[in-house]
């Protein structure tokens, strides 16, 4: 898939990130204001989490914008890795935000917990509905364009939903049983912080694996071999390597051909393999094909 074909998807991702920033700003402001007024540590904690989401979505927006730039002399593989770095930064933001939320819950907003007002319940319900809508949309678009950063942001929204549900349960318990479970609201804030930290660590691990050139899953490698073997003249696929560069993979492929074949003919087959793979597998950005003699004939590689 070429950069031109990717541009519409990246534009959709950027638009979605902009909408997400606006929603996060509104939810953060509402949650913090209502949480302080209602005396709910859980709602304030979730508001702080939403404020972190503003930064996370901004990082995603920048990452998607830079990733859409075409290759240049200094970046022959394109700028896709910036998108992966954006996913890593989102994970780190979540870890820091979760740690801050948990610490704030431990220290408390006041010496003695108070019964949360009903407005805390309302704002949490609004947050759950808004975040559910955003998460579903982001997952759908991320799956269509293969964006790690956008998928990370979608998981971030999913964590927000879980956090809001946790906060809602905590607030309802504190309101329903103020004599025995008043501390549930503060405990809910601590749980929210722990959930955010765990999710951030998971996203950080995923991005780190991509940056470390971790091979794709065996099924994707099998698809590459299957397509290459379908090209007339390819006797076998000896080995293959793949590295993710943002939204797509760059492939190094060693194929075996008839050792008596001319250089011109083997070169043509190599280009046929390149065209067939990039056409059949949209997640492949480019293929570097190494032509080798079938049957283990010694003589080195002819690189095409």
Q: Which residues contact 240 (CB under 8 A, 6 or more apart)?
A: 221, 224, 225, 251, 252, 253, 254
pLDDT on residue 52: 75
Tell me the two tokens of residue 114.
């108070």
d(CA 214, CA 74): 23
* Average pLDDT by stretches of 10, the chain with 304 residues: 48 79 90 86 81 76 75 77 80 82 66 76 92 90 77 81 85 82 75 81 84 83 92 91 82 92 91 92 88 69 47
- Taking only the tens place, the pLDDT of each residue in 262-290 is 999 999 999 999 999 999 988 888 899 99
Read off the pLDDT of residues 219-230 as tens digits, 9 standing for 90 and up: 888 999 999 999
**pTM score:** 0.61
Question: What pLDDT is stored for residue 109 in this prediction?
Answer: 47
Asked whether the beta carbons of 26 and 134 are under 8 A apart, the reply is no
Closest by alpha carbon to 67, among 280, 247, 190?
247
Per the structure block, which two tokens stand in for 13? 């991702």
Q: From CA 69, how far away is CA 245, in angstroms rounded?
A: 13
Q: List C-alpha distances in Å: 44 to 47, 117, 146, 172.
A: 5, 13, 34, 15
Domains of the chain are 3-211 (1.20.1510.10), 218-303 (3.30.70.1350)
And the tokens for 202? 């998971």
pLDDT number for residue 126: 93
């Amino acid at each position: 898939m070429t950069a031109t074909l990717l541009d519409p998807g990246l534009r959709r991702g950027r638009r979605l990130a902009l909408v997400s920033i606006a929603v996060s700003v509104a939810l953060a402001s509402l949650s913090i204001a209502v949480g302080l007024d209602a005396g709910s540590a859980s709602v304030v904690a979730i508001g702080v989490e939403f404020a972190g989401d503003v930064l996370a979505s901004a990082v995603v927006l920048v990452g998607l914008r830079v990733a859409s730039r075409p290759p240049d002399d200094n970046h022959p593989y394109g700028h896709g890795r910036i998108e992966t770095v954006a996913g890593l930064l989102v994970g780190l933001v979540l870890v820091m935000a979760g740690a801050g939320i948990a610490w704030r819950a431990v220290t408390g907003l006041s010496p003695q917990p108070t019964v949360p007002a009903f407005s805390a319940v309302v704002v949490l319900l609004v947050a759950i509905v808004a975040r559910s809508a955003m998460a579903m949309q982001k997952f759908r678009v991320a799956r269509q364009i293969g964006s790690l950063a956008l998928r990370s942001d979608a998981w971030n929204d999913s964590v927000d939903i879980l956090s809001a549900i946790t906060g809602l349960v905590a607030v309802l318990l504190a309101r329903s049983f103020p004599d025995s479970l008043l501390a549930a609201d503060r405990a809910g804030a601590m749980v929210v912080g722990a959930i955010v930290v765990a999710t951030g660590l998971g996203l950080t691990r995923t991005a780190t694996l991509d940056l470390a050139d971790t091979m794709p899953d065996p099924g994707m490698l099998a698809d590459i071999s299957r397509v290459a073997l379908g090209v007339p003249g390819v006797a076998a696929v000896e080995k293959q390597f793949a590295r993710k560069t943002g939204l797509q993979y760059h492939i190094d492929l060693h194929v075996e051909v008839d050792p008596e074949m001319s250089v011109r003919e083997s070169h043509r087959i190599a280009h046929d393999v390149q065209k067939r793979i990039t056409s059949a597998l949209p997640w492949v950005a480019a293929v570097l094909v190494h032509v080798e003699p079938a049957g283990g004939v010694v003589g080195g590689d002819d690189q095409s």
